Amino acid sequence: MDFSKLALKYKTPLYIYDFDYISTQFYSLKEAFRARKSLICYALKANSNLSILKHLAALGAGCDCVSVGEIKRALLAGVAKYKIIFSGVGKDDCEIEFALKEDILMLNIESEAELKRVEKIAQNLKTIARISIRVNPDVDAKTHHYISTGLKKNKFGVDADTAKKLYIYCKNSPFLEPIGIHCHIGSQILDIAPYSDATAVTATLLRSLKALEIDIKFFDVGGGLGIRYKDEVTIEPYDFAQAVLANLGGTDVTTVCELGRFLVGNSGYLLTKVLYEKHNGAKRFVVVDAAMNDLIRPSLYDAYHEIEAINKNGGGTLADVVGPICESGDFLGKDVLLPQLNHGDLLVVKSAGAYGFSMSSNYNSRLRAAEVAIEGGRERLIRKREEFEDLIRLEKECLEGANEENR
């Protein structure tokens, strides 16, 4: 990848995504689940750029959405309605209504209260809501506590016994059709055992529902497959699929997974320009033009991203790579081995495709970065760099309205 050329053409900070890598990741999953009917959904929250969605839709991916905004994005990108799932612990009435009217595949329900709400809205709309219930298997995904979701103490889903009661309730409701079972235990998972354990819980429930003549068609194992940021040993898609399928003997369900990070994480690079070097005593800082508003993972989770200087020899000394934001938490890397750098030199922050741009903000009134796709050796802009006008548009109208009123 010619980072210097890209920086010259599109400026920095710049997100760059390798679309061929995304295809490879998608096909590796599809292949791993080959023995069964499967639906590989992409969890939009990882990176919801429309061009990425369109790329994945063309490969045959479905989408896991957690807001109306995400559903609208998926539809706009051409994802088939029957491949869209609506997840999330708190869905507003208008969001439920939208999903039902759009007739997407199913809503993943997270509580009894939500189920009743969906039933009521379906009744008002004179329709039947296809649903799935998110089971909280009380399994430790052994990941960062902020992104662990399958423990009783987490806010997600309901325990298997409660889920069973809810399925029975659905069976007796003319407005609810239970078609799926859902479970998602966390993100950046590197250990296969929690997947086996969680799937065992949901597969047991699946069988007990079958005995009650509740016919579940979709077995959604969630997402969470970890990726290599540094030297992590990751789970192979084949082993992931085997851990799931081993629990499904004798059943006839379509296996669904909803992966985000695995599909796009290592496709992405954040390119940033060095502004200055500075030393506070013995401490070396490299101040760059990207900041925590562009990539918040280091600040939020203490996450590691490999950072490399472009067109420089290796070696050097340790430095913290920091952004211009007025917070000590504004760093992209700590104790990074870097050569002597000058104004205008480039650094690339790797593994930035997931939870990078999608978690970015305008904090400090900074404009969000541009995004570029590389596919088959060719590059194209997939999101323009924001301009100051984008930043103030919605406020400006109010300001002008208030000025009118005061006149």
Ligand X SMILES: Cc1ncc(COP(=O)(O)O)c(C=O)c1O
Contact residues toward ligand X (CB under 6 A) are 43, 45-46, 64, 87, 184, 187, 222-225, 258-262, 354
φ/ψ of 373, rounded to 5, equals -105, 145
* Closer residue to ligand X, CB minimum distance, 99 or 309: 99
Looking at the Cβ atoms of 51 and 187, the one nearer to ligand X is 187
* Distance, CA of 130 to CA of 358 (rounded, Å): 29
Minimum distance of ligand X from residue 71's CB (angstroms) = 14
Cβ-contact 303, 371 below 8 angstroms: no
- For the bound state, the minimum distance from the C-beta of residue 42 to ligand X, rounded and expressed in Å, comes to 9
The phi, psi pair for 178, rounded to 5°, reads -80, 115
Q: Which is nearer to ligand X, 223 or 237 (CB)?
A: 223
Separation CA 19–CA 269 (nearest Å): 12
**By C-alpha distance, which of 231, 292, 234 is closest to 261?**
234
Nearest CB to ligand X, comparing residues 19 and 262: 262
| Beta carbon nearer to ligand X, 178 or 353 | 353
Q: Find the shortest distance in angstroms from Cβ 253 to ligand X.
A: 18
Tell me how far apart the alpha carbons of residues 107 and 282 are, in angstroms, rounded to a whole number: 55
Q: How far is the CB of 263 from ligand X (least distance, A)?
A: 8
Of 89, 27, 32, 34, nearest to 58 (Cα)? 27
CA 69 centroid distance within chain:
14
36: enclosing H helix or E strand: none
One-character DSSP codes across 97-160: HHHHHHT-SEEEE-SHHHHHHHHHHHHHTT--EEEEEEB-------S-GGGB--STTSSSSB-H
Least Å distance between CB 200 and ligand X?
19
Distance, in Å, from the CA atom of 122 to the CA atom of 124, rounded to the nearest integer, reads 5
Least distance CB 186 / ligand X (angstroms): 7
- State in angstroms the smallest separation of the CB of 261 from ligand X: 4
Report how far residue 361's alpha carbon sits from residue 12's, in angstroms, rounded to the nearest whole number: 16
Smallest distance, ligand X to C-beta of residue 150, A: 10
Query: Given CA atoms 320, 321, 326, 330 in this order, what sign does their dihedral have?
Result: negative
For ligand X, the closer CB: 266 or 272: 266
List the helix and strand counts (H, then E) for the chain: 12, 17
Q: Residue 196 corresponds to which amino acid?
A: S
What's the first-to-final CA gap in the chain, in angstroms? 56
Q: Confirm whether 326 is a catalytic residue.
A: yes
Structural contact between residues 331 and 322, judged by C-beta atoms closer than 8 angstroms: yes
Which is the catalytic residue, given 41, 65, 326, 398? 326
- Nearer Cβ to ligand X (89/325): 89
CA–CA separation, 223 vs 185, rounded Å? Answer: 8
**94: phi > 0 → left, psi -120 to 50 → alpha, else beta; which?**
alpha
- Catalytic residues, by residue number, are 326
